[in-house]
């Protein structure tokens, strides 16, 4: 489960209902066009924290059915509701997902013992593997090197999706845990993370920019830093334009420009104005 892994986008219709046809088209675009190495399902990019348990299960089911073993699948099952997380972990494991992931529990400012209990409770309930999803700027949960080490004492916890800007901690983790999988989570910092020895990256912009991400990753691994840096510059120009226009909404409009029924975002995310839709389509024409 190394390499470039897309944080999978999900298609919803104008009323916010899951659009199965569109989801299948997004999956196919990622696998067939972007040529990614795997899919990370029901993460932030899939608008996971705004949908019901049953909708999450349906997304897991559709994705597994559409992929048919072509690439590895990681199921993000994390939730503030531990019972829901365990239920989703069992469901995804029964479907045959290659690994689980779970965001650190958030909102209530849980202490580390509670966080450790959360991870061990989820992964010990199933015959599967766990990848910690660390995203401090959204959860407010910052863990130290020693705390990661304590979590990694559970052999079923095999790695971390590291969506943080603390590259000193990233370097320390790489040195201390050579056997664990470390995934970069910031697409705009893929090259420096690659130089520090990550095993792969999980990102939202890979839904449209997966091929360039692979080039950056592979060139970085080969030590061809100048070449990789030029592609990172192009990628970051693209990312800047996407962020200025609205991250998830813009990626969906870019996918539509490529013939993919990517749908809309769930409320309370806003729908783009006609002007911003035109901007998104222009970004796609200029960069894809």
Which domains, ranges and CATH numbers included, belong to the chain? Answer: 3-225 (3.20.20.70)
* φ, ψ for residue 73, nearest 5 deg: -125, 135
Q: What is the pLDDT of residue 87?
A: 98
- Two tokens at 80? 């503030």
Q: What CA–CA distance (Å, rounded) separates 127 from 50?
A: 28
Angle 131-135-141 from CA coordinates, rounded to 5°: 100
The answer to whether 77 and 102 have CB atoms below 8 angstroms apart is yes
| Regions of the chain with pLDDT less than 50 | none
**56, 64, 161, 252: the active-site residue:** 161
pTM: 0.98
Q: What is the pLDDT of residue 17?
A: 98
133 is known as an active-site residue: yes
Q: What is the pLDDT of residue 143?
A: 97
If phi over 0 gives left and psi between -120 and 50 gives alpha, with beta otherwise, what is residue 4?
A: beta
**97, 133, 183, 248: the active-site residue:** 133
161 is known as an active-site residue: yes
Q: What is the pLDDT of residue 77?
A: 98
Please check if 45 is assigned to a binding site. yes
pLDDT tens-digit map of 227-240: 999 999 999 999 99
Please check if 204 is assigned to a binding site. yes
Among all chains, which residue has been given the structure tokens 């407010």?
140
pLDDT tens-digit map of 118-139: 999 999 999 999 999 999 999 9
Q: What is the pLDDT of residue 124?
A: 98
Q: What is the pLDDT of residue 109?
A: 95
Please check if 163 is assigned to a binding site. yes
């Amino acid at each position: 489960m190394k390499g470039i892994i897309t944080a999978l986008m999900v298609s919803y219709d104008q009323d916010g209902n899951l659009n199965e046809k569109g989801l299948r088209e997004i999956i196919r675009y990622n696998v067939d066009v972007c040529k990614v190495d795997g899919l990370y399902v029901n993460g932030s990019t899939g608008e996971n924290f705004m949908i019901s348990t049953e909708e999450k299960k349906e997304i897991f089911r559709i994705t597994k059915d559409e992929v048919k073993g072509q690439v590895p699948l990681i199921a993000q099952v994390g939730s503030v509701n531990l019972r829901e997380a365990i239920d989703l972990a069992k469901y995804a494991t029964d479907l045959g997902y290659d690994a689980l992931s779970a965001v650190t529990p958030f909102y209530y400012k849980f202490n580390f013992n509670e966080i450790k209990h959360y991870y061990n409770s989820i992964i010990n309930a199933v015959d599967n593997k766990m990848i910690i999803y660390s995203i401090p700027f959204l959860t407010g949960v910052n863990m130290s090197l020693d705390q990661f080490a304590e979590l990694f004492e559970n052999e079923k916890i095999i790695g971390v999706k590291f969506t943080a800007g603390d590259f000193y901690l990233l370097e320390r983790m790489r040195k201390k845990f050579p056997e664990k999988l470390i995934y970069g989570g910031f697409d705009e910092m893929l090259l420096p993370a690659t130089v520090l020895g990550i095993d792969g990256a999980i990102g939202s912009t890979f839904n449209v920019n997966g091929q360039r991400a692979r080039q950056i990753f592979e060139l970085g691994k080969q030590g061809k830093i100048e070449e990789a840096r030029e592609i990172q510059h192009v990628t970051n120009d693209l990312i800047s334009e996407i962020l200025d226009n609205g991250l998830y909404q813009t990626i969906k409009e870019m996918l539509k420009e490529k013939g993919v029924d990517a749908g809309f975002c769930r409320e309370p995310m806003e729908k783009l104005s006609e002007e911003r839709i035109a901007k998104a389509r222009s970004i796609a024409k200029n960069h894809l």
